[in-house]
Structure 1
Amino acid sequence: MTKHDYLGQSDARPLMRRSRRQPRLLQRALLPLVASATVLAGAAIGSPALAQASSNEDSDRINYSEFITQVKDGKVASVVIDSRLNIARVYYTDDPDGEEPKQVQLFERNTSASSQLTELLIDNDVEFGEEPSIDRSVAIGVLGNFLLVGLLLGFLVLLFRRTARASGQAMSFGKSRARFQMESQTGVTFDDVAGIDTAKEELQEVVSFLKETERFTAVGARIPKGVLLIGSPGTGKTLLARAVSGQAGVPFFSISGSEFVEMFVGVGASRVRDLFRKAKENAPCLIFIDEIDAVGRQRGAGIGGGNDEREQTLNQLLAEMDGFESNTGIIIIAATNRPDVLDLALLRPGRFDRQVTVDLPSYKGRLGILNVHGRNKRLSPEVSLEAIARRTPGLSGADLANLLNEAAILTARRLKTEIGLSEIEDALDRVTIGMSLSPLLDSKKKRIVAYHEVGHALMMTLLEHADPLNKVTIIPRSGGVGGFAQSTISDDMLDNGLLSRAWLLDRITIFLGGRSAEEEVFGDEEVTAGAASDLQMVADLARKMVTRYGMSELGTVALESSNDRVFLGGNDINRTEYSEAVAARIDQQVRAIAERCHQQARQILRENRPLVDRLVDVLLYEETITGDRFREIVAERATLPEKQLAAQGVANP
């Protein structure tokens, strides 16, 4: 037994003993306090003195000597004596009807004082009588005591329930926390899923197998035990699982991988057994495990210490999926964006028979996603979803949904009734780049930013193999972005990954256009740190050209791999596949590529310096220039051959 196991088992019993002892201590401490408060409240509420003080505050009072004088002067018409409160209500002869009587406090009741007051009232022909007030102090005191007792009983009931719930949870650590759902509870079907047709078709077969099992078993087909959904965050893996739940019409259990693992030893494995026991009782059914990499990570990695509890949970999951006992009619759907860290035993056939890749949507897929999320949006007639789909390559389904939602929020903030093209543009910039901030004041910093961004935009416009410019702006964005020049990348480039050497070199030249503009205009001593991220991208692209794409003088060899298998063991960490001499040559080739593109960018800017100044003046005035407007200005003054201008879509003046 390891030290971790021993600590996990020894800490459980004291924890439960403390949970049982704590309510008793609270009861012993609170009961005397509540009893004291009950007695004080009863005494305060039932006190006649306090009731008398409250009554005296509502009417005028006179003293006893003044009362005697008024009786002798014949001003008093009648007197009503309240023997309970020992006061007299005095009515005067000249008081109008409805006037409240005056009150006088009488002396302590005794025979002599009472007879003297009676004789005085008789001698002066004053009518008098006795009318005691109703005594409510006893009833109020009883009600107050009952109220406090009721509050005390309610508090004790809540305390006992909480104690029982805590003890129940302490005894049910091994119970599965999977949520049981049926078709009507998700509200999502395959009609609500767009842009991932291949993955949807794979899961449609699973749904058909559950509904029409005989059609598949008649030809000898065996139901798959598991389907692993692999894809980047936001591509729709969880949405697909919800659609399967709504489409299949069979019991559906959903749980996250992190819910299996607890601080107590053996809890994860117990929850796995309990989950599959419930699934067997409701077979045929589906089990969805989200973020399975939290529990299915490679065993025995040896990095940062071991986690025996997680490995025991994974072992139990492997045994339940494909062990001695068969789980007929149970299909497991799991989702992850880190398939490289999963245990190989989890990925073999017989456990996860299918691995479905959920890629980023293409143009057609993005259009379908926009149509789905635009159903409940009030779009202006000028908004074209086809144009938005063309302008958003590389965005996932979650990004597109967020895009339309941000546009709707901007529309409501601007007090408009329909989502317009400007709201879509601003929302797209906010999603891809960041929230816009206040424009810079007219200063040297603003001019430097303008020359920097014009340098990028001019490279996008004049280089032959570069992607066309979409827009350039000097309005700052959140995250320290002073401005940006945005290009439009084609879907073929993203989908097929066919990156040509000419395109990569032009891409590096575009990244160096901003720094080159600062050097040409302000000199080497005035360059800023605004090109830090650009230089990082230059180093990354140039190194990939040398070590992975074979686009240098080192030849057509791949010197580095793209797999960072950090979680699969220590063998691949800090491992180089080439000698120090080759590493020095790699560095030389990377510098040569970067320097070549740098000199090309400076030469283009030097030859078109009047055009650069003109573009900067327009950008400082308008703060944002669209790609079409930028190309019109370039066509007027560009000093490039007609063939190169035509390749960039710039009309020859």
Structure 2
Amino acid sequence: LTEMDGFEGNTGIIIIAATNRPDVLDSALLRPGRFDRQVSVDLPSYKGRLGILEVHARNKKLDADVSLETIARRTPGFSGAELANMLNEAAILTARRRKDAITLLEVDDAIDRVTTGMTLTPLLDSKKKRLIAYHEAGHALLMTLLKNSDPLNKVTIIPRSGGIGGFAQQTFNEEMIDSGLYTRSWLLDRITIALGGRAAEQEVFGDAEITVGASNDIQVVANLAREMVTRYGMSDLGPFALESHNQEVFLGRDLMSRSEYSDEVATRVDHQVRDIATRCYAEACRILRDHRELLDRIVDMLLEQETIDGEQFRKLVAQYVELPEKQLTTATTS
């Protein structure tokens, strides 16, 4: 550290370090003349992803229908390592299928493998498969009907490694993801969508048949609802923050996390979080109940095809109900 202050004759040497926890760095490291300049390296934007894909696609043969621009638009939130891994997975799948070039099918399967895991053997026609179909159809239908939701990309009931029985995948708005400017209506619809699987289970099979398959969804709901109350000021408690961004315990810091508000306020926070989750769950149940015939039709198609892409799904829904105008616009520009 003493030789980093610039008093020696080694001014031509630049020392670079990297960390993903700048908040826990000792102040002695950050004094002028030491690590006094911080450069935040975020996940790549569209142009960055396109450049990374061009580098890793140089030694791979792509089919004429494969567009790197399209892949870059489909992968917001991917890191450079994930993009490289995705192309490598696509190349492996191409070799296994004895094809001469990587096609769109291999790219789609590779993206799914990177994000959700390896494909497992499809379930036999059984009660479990039908229950999973209703669960995922509940998510997908809410993604399509809610006005402020991002459009559905695909829904599938083919299981994946890691205990995933199926998934409903959205095409997120890249500008909003990069900027982090989430609206209150978008967050509420996001919570409603997350509760759609459990709501479908309850509406179709009853309280006694609700499964633990919605455990991850419920965790997402709890985190989003609490952040709306304690960080974003989007509740009846008022427009002020009650918690800081990072509450994790880390080496060199307090072993016990400190509450930043009183027990009385904590109780009110819990009530607000519960109120948001309860209202969104009631809304999810109402929408699925009102469109039960459509829900049953979607499940029948899922059991037959096992995977439905977003465009086919929206055509089916449009036969029963008028789609939100914003949803159609977003789906067209994606």
TM-score range, shorter chain: over 0.9
Aligned equivalents of 1:618, 1:637: Cα separation in 2: 15
Higher strand share: 1
Equivalent position to 1:421, from 104, 116, 121: 104
Aligned equivalents of 1:358, 1:645: Cα separation in 2: 37
Say if 1:438 and 1:476, in contact at 8 Å, map to a contact too: yes
Pair 1:646 & 2:329 matched: no
Residue by residue over 1:149-196, the C-alpha shift from the partner in whole angstroms, topping out at 9 and shown as x without a partner, is xxxxxxxxxxxxxxxxxxxxxxxxxxxxxxxxxxxxxxxxxxxxxxxx
The equivalent of 2:35 in structure 1 is 352
After TM superposition, give the deviation of residue 321 of structure 1 in Å: 1.4
Pair 1:452 & 2:115 matched: no
The equivalent of 1:440 in structure 2 is 123
Alignment of 1:164-175 (within 5 A): none
Say if 2:157 and 2:165, in contact at 8 Å, map to a contact too: yes
Pair 1:366 & 2:49 matched: yes
Further displaced range: 567-576 or 617-626: 567-576
Say if 2:132 and 2:166, in contact at 8 Å, map to a contact too: yes
Equivalent position to 2:223, from 540, 547, 553: 540
SS at match of 1:361: coil
The equivalent of 1:489 in structure 2 is 172
Aligned equivalents of 2:21, 2:266: Cα separation in 1: 30
After TM superposition, give the deviation of residue 562 of structure 1 in Å: 1.1
Say if 1:340 and 1:565, in contact at 8 Å, map to a contact too: no
The equivalent of 1:6 in structure 2 is none
Tell me which structure has the larger Cα radius of gyration: 1
> Which amino acid in 2 is paired with 1:577?
E
After TM superposition, give the deviation of residue 344 of structure 1 in Å: 1.4
Equivalent position to 1:555, from 216, 220, 238: 238
After TM superposition, give the deviation of residue 338 of structure 1 in Å: 2.3
Q: 1:321 to 1:566 in 2, by over 3 A?
A: farther
SS at match of 2:241: coil
Pair 1:585 & 2:268 matched: yes
After TM superposition, give the deviation of residue 347 of structure 1 in Å: 1.7
The equivalent of 2:62 in structure 1 is 379
Aligned equivalents of 2:282, 2:241: Cα separation in 1: 27
Q: 1:530 to 1:565 in 2, by over 3 A?
A: closer
After TM superposition, give the deviation of residue 428 of structure 1 in Å: 0.5
Which 5+ residue runs of structure 1 have no aligned equivalent?
Answer: 1-317
The equivalent of 1:476 in structure 2 is 159
Aligned equivalents of 1:482, 1:627: Cα separation in 2: 19
Aligned equivalents of 1:557, 1:338: Cα separation in 2: 25
Aligned equivalents of 1:510, 1:349: Cα separation in 2: 49
Pair 1:627 & 2:274 matched: no
Say if 1:565 and 1:572, in contact at 8 Å, map to a contact too: no
Say if 2:143 and 2:193, in contact at 8 Å, map to a contact too: yes
> Which amino acid in 2 is paired with 1:625?
I
The equivalent of 1:498 in structure 2 is 181
SS at match of 1:337: coil
The equivalent of 2:212 in structure 1 is 529
After TM superposition, give the deviation of residue 567 of structure 1 in Å: 3.3
Aligned equivalents of 1:577, 1:427: Cα separation in 2: 44
> Which amino acid in 1 is paired with 2:172?
I
SS at match of 2:238: coil
Pair 1:637 & 2:320 matched: yes
Aligned equivalents of 1:483, 1:396: Cα separation in 2: 24
Alignment of 1:251-400 (within 5 A): 318-322=1-5, 325-400=8-83
Which 5+ residue runs of structure 2 have no aligned equivalent?
Answer: none
> Which amino acid in 2 is paired with 1:612?
L
Alignment of 1:154-193 (within 5 A): none
Say if 2:159 and 2:166, in contact at 8 Å, map to a contact too: yes
Aligned equivalents of 2:124, 2:31: Cα separation in 1: 61
> Which amino acid in 2 is paired with 1:647?
K
The equivalent of 2:257 in structure 1 is 574
> Which amino acid in 2 is paired with 1:553?
D
Q: Give the percent of matched residue pairs that are identical in Structure 1 and Structure 2.
A: 69
> Which amino acid in 2 is paired with 1:512?
L
Aligned equivalents of 1:488, 1:477: Cα separation in 2: 20
SS at match of 2:17: strand
> Which amino acid in 2 is paired with 1:546?
V
Further displaced range: 552-561 or 367-376: 367-376
Aligned equivalents of 2:167, 2:222: Cα separation in 1: 20
SS at match of 2:18: strand
The equivalent of 1:408 in structure 2 is 91
Aligned equivalents of 1:361, 1:469: Cα separation in 2: 23
Say if 1:341 and 1:565, in contact at 8 Å, map to a contact too: no
User: With structure 1 as the length reference, what TM-score do the two structures score?
Assistant: 0.49
Residue by residue over 1:358-389, the C-alpha shift from the partner in whole angstroms, topping out at 9 and shown as x without a partner, is 11011111111111111111000011111111
Residue by residue over 1:582-610, the C-alpha shift from the partner in whole angstroms, topping out at 9 and shown as x without a partner, is 11100100010001000100010011000
Aligned equivalents of 1:585, 1:566: Cα separation in 2: 24
After TM superposition, give the deviation of residue 564 of structure 1 in Å: 3.5
After TM superposition, give the deviation of residue 573 of structure 1 in Å: 3.3
Aligned equivalents of 1:528, 1:410: Cα separation in 2: 34
Residue by residue over 1:46-67, the C-alpha shift from the partner in whole angstroms, topping out at 9 and shown as x without a partner, is xxxxxxxxxxxxxxxxxxxxxx
Residue by residue over 1:604-653, the C-alpha shift from the partner in whole angstroms, topping out at 9 and shown as x without a partner, is 00110000000000000000000000000000012xxx5x62222199xx
Further displaced range: 347-356 or 563-572: 563-572
SS at match of 1:358: coil
After TM superposition, give the deviation of residue 581 of structure 1 in Å: 0.7
After TM superposition, give the deviation of residue 529 of structure 1 in Å: 0.5
Q: 1:471 to 1:565 in 2, by over 3 A?
A: closer
The equivalent of 1:57 in structure 2 is none
After TM superposition, give the deviation of residue 491 of structure 1 in Å: 1.3
After TM superposition, give the deviation of residue 415 of structure 1 in Å: 1.0
Say if 2:157 and 2:302, in contact at 8 Å, map to a contact too: yes
> Which amino acid in 2 is paired with 1:350?
G
Aligned equivalents of 2:277, 2:220: Cα separation in 1: 11
Say if 2:225 and 2:277, in contact at 8 Å, map to a contact too: yes
SS at match of 1:332: coil
SS at match of 1:553: coil
SS at match of 1:602: helix
The equivalent of 2:285 in structure 1 is 602
CA RMSD of aligned residues (A): 1.6
> Which amino acid in 2 is paired with 1:354?
R
